[in-house]
Chains A and B, each alone.
Chain A
């Protein structure tokens, strides 16, 4: 090879070596980001101490490792090769089932009965739930426990070969039995979906996702709203499909496939369904619901169950799915919890089989004490407050005082009205 060509080849190599740097700095080509990738790593400021101790270099290297140009493509390239050559997934949370089905590892493990929870612990938690149910009922509220349908339980025929149940009855059956024995209101979607499996065209679990399909979510939402209607003893709005609109992909239900971060997906077979809307024949008061759940509730949120509720507060406990929602990751903050308990008519705690170990996420431990301490005021209190808030503007003398107070405190007139209404209601309660 003559020297001219060698020189060209060398400079071509040099240009190629620089492309990741350039791409990383200027993002010239749009790349599909890595699914469920963590947030950017923070790098300490460059100063003498950080440099000499090596802290800056260590963090900078870690950051460069995650942010260099074309990283998503390199990662997908590697995953695709591993999938093709070694039939291996690099996402530890995904298991390959039969006939192209994908399962979440935690779902399969829960089905198998791995990581069993101690019987005493389950009994203790359910006992607390029953106590909270009683305390809530004293305030005209109620508690509903929802066992979200597990994909592994719905279609065990698609589980990987040799996946057997190790421990029986497992966390799910055990928790359900104790909850039923204690008379707790429960919806068991495992049983529900199993019963309708042969009689409905709707496949409630997606082939390559770990949550429900839109039509599965629709069925679940319908059952849930009927159950709430029965518990509250009044009519509530219902979710129904918009007949005028054609079926389409309401949301992507292939989250497990996305976690694999491959270049070539297995297939484009998203579930389609007409969009849902919430409504009723007559004007009715929608219920106020406070939901604590893992990711299982998110499909219901996506099809619009929130429209059927008046006040809909959702504390979500799943990473990373929940971080995308405005509520974000709920923390068991007592102050917030008091407000939620005061405002809702129904508390709903929902989890998949895999999430049962954390069921309630601290709610059962915190709510009982709050309800007993009297910090959570009864519904009548708020009815009284509401009545006062509506009355005060019509009383000109009172409004004059309120305006003066609002000016003094530097708050709005509305806030001053609420303050007064609460103070008077509290005095009356005493």
Chain B
């Protein structure tokens, strides 16, 4: 059950909201947990048993660790809890959910783990693992006290809004919310959550899907003979499809969280207006980068301090781990290598060029340059194989391709909608509206207008889903 399915939108969500709203404060956490377990039971029933066992084990191990005074004992318990948390992830890696390189290595080493295949479904496995590790480490570092109740810990890990596409939330930033959520001005918060949820849904169904449809057509043709114009259009469509799909899902998750009184961090901070590639990586999937920084870069930083070479090695390791999160296929490796190349180039000489032309190069040119690199990188993400991606990249820069796909009216309409949405979002009025929405200070008139708009958007999305089915979401490929 994905968020943009009829089952979720018209059955699961209304049922959850009704129960959550009708029951008193003491029962609300229980409602969240029950629906989260139901969500899991529906999507990955066999996986749930493994998750519950590992969760209970980690919960008690971390409590023991916190109570222990011996550093060695604490360290052992930390390693043990981390191992249990990553166990699910490792098992999925071995069962073919993680593909190509890892699997090939396993096969070459004559390690056969196929008996697990079909047993586990990695629904939100990486979010679950990362959150569990974050909990163990934060308690180990004494950043936060361990949770007193198992129910709170289960809610933290299994909360259904974050199960499919995050965001990843370090325990330290969520611990307070778990104990005491923002229950003031509840209805304003719920309405704001609804607006956010529908915005995310519209991004996926009304924007990402038509763009993806065009990108699919471009990528499914004989790319060697694709005209350069079509190839560029296909690449641009793909870039915005990926962005709208990822950020749309995060918006839906944030909206659902907000309806329950949780505040999820912003996961996509206008990444396509970055003025350097390193800036892009700070804006893209912010929660993952923050997690990597807190739990991987920080411990490794002490090694990196000794020399420039080691510093590069540490940066490379963290970047490699970040890329690995998106999947372990050759395509993702190629995508990572492509980004890695440009990141190194930025460190070595490109930044100097930027500096040299600091006053000469308009900001817009830099933004477009970075966007072009990112867009080229997405080709690896989408292509069927690395060879396919290279052929597509060649068609971008080769004249004489004969296969042209003319975009239809809906593509043009979607593009116009995107431009209008971006302009509205960046306008002073749009920013003000966003601030008011965030702070729950909307006037009655604005509430009514936004409510009507979101209901129309919701109806449009339902009508589109009911006719064309659930749009495929690129993030789920990884």
Contact = CB atoms under 8 A, between A and B. Distances in A.
A74 B451 contact: no
Contacts of B7: 60-61, 64-65
B121 to A, nearest CB: 8
B368 interface: no
B185 A1 contact: no
A10 B191 contact: yes
Contacts of A65: 5-7, 465-466, 469
Instruction: Name the residue in A3, A6, A13 with the highest tally of chain B Cβ atoms < 10 Å from its Cβ.
Output: A6
A163 B459 CA distance: 37
A78 B466 contact: yes
Contacts of A18: 14, 18
A11 B464 CA distance: 25
Nearest to B441: A1
Contact of A86 (B10, B194, B413): B413
Contact of A14 (B14, B451, B459): B14
Contacts of B475: none
A309 to B, nearest CB: 43
Contact of B17 (A17, A71, A78, A81): A17
Interface string B1-31: 1000111001101100110010000000000
B413 A3 contact: no
A7 B187 contact: yes
Given A21-B11, A85-B409, A86-B413, A52 B46 contact: yes
B471 interface: no
A54 B121 CA distance: 10
A241 interface: no
A5 B465 CA distance: 32
Nearest to B410: A86
Interface stretch (B101-109, B326-334, B442-450): B442-450
A9 interface: yes
A68 interface: yes
B10 A13 contact: no
B355 to A, nearest CB: 48
B447 A6 contact: yes
B10 A6 contact: no
A43 to B, nearest CB: 12
B426 interface: no
A11 B10 CA distance: 16
Given A13-B194, A17-B17, A1 B447 contact: yes
B191 A74 contact: no
A79 B467 CA distance: 8
Contacts of A52: 45-46
A10 B409 CA distance: 36
Contacts of B340: none
B147 interface: no
B190 interface: yes
Contact of A64 (B6, B21, B44, B191): B6
A231 interface: no
Given A17-B10, A21-B10, A88-B410, A75 B190 contact: no
Given A54-B45, A74-B462, A21 B467 contact: no
A192 interface: no
Contacts of A71: 466
A3 B467 CA distance: 38
B39 to A, nearest CB: 11
A329 B275 CA distance: 65
Contacts of B409: 85-88
Contacts of B465: 65
Contacts, number: 108
A86 B412 CA distance: 10
A51 interface: yes
A75 B42 contact: no
B21 A1 contact: no
A86 B21 CA distance: 41
A20 B410 contact: no
Contacts of A74: 459, 462-463, 466-467
Contacts of A382: none
Interface in B195-220: none
A77 interface: yes
Contact of B408 (A6, A17, A77, A86): A86
Interface in B154-195: 185, 187-188, 190-191, 194
A259 interface: no
Nearest to A73: B463
Contact of B1 (A6, A9, A57): A57
Nearest to B189: A6
Contacts of B185: 3, 6
A2 B465 CA distance: 35
A21 B18 CA distance: 13
A3 B14 contact: no
A20 B42 contact: no
Given A1-B443, A57-B42, A21 B466 contact: no
B5 A9 contact: no
Interface string B289-311: 00000000000000000000000
A313 interface: no
Nearest to B192: A6
A77 B42 contact: no
Contacts of B188: 1, 3, 6
A25 B194 CA distance: 25
A39 interface: no
A64 B443 CA distance: 38
A16 interface: yes
A11 B21 CA distance: 9
B43 interface: yes
B401 to A, nearest CB: 24
A10 B464 contact: no
Contacts of B399: none
B455 interface: yes
Interface in B23-54: 42-46
A67 to B, nearest CB: 9
A90 interface: yes
A232 B45 CA distance: 70
B447 A90 contact: no
B463 A77 contact: yes
Given A1-B188, A88-B409, A64 B459 contact: no
Interface string A214-257: 00000000000000000000000000000000000000000000
A6 B466 contact: no
A8 B185 CA distance: 13
Interface in B429-478: 442-444, 447-448, 451, 455, 459-460, 462-467, 469
B410 A75 contact: no
Nearest to A78: B463
26 contacts: A1-B442, A1-B447, A3-B187, A6-B191, A9-B448, A9-B451, A10-B21, A13-B191, A13-B451, A14-B14, A16-B455, A17-B13, A17-B17, A18-B14, A54-B43, A54-B44, A61-B1, A61-B7, A64-B6, A68-B11, A78-B467, A79-B467, A85-B413, A86-B409, A88-B408, A88-B409
Interface of B: 1, 5-7, 10-11, 13-14, 17-18, 21, 42-46, 121, 185, 187-188, 190-191, 194, 408-410, 413, 442-444, 447-448, 451, 455, 459-460, 462-467, 469
- Give me the 6 closest cross-chain CB pairs, A-B, nearest first: A78-B463, A6-B187, A1-B444, A86-B409, A74-B463, A17-B14
Given A9-B191, A68-B10, A88-B408, 6 more contacts: A57-B42, A61-B1, A68-B466, A74-B467, A81-B460, A86-B408
Interface of A: 1-3, 5-7, 9-11, 13-14, 16-18, 20-21, 51-52, 54, 57, 60-61, 64-65, 68, 71, 74-75, 77-79, 81-82, 85-88, 90
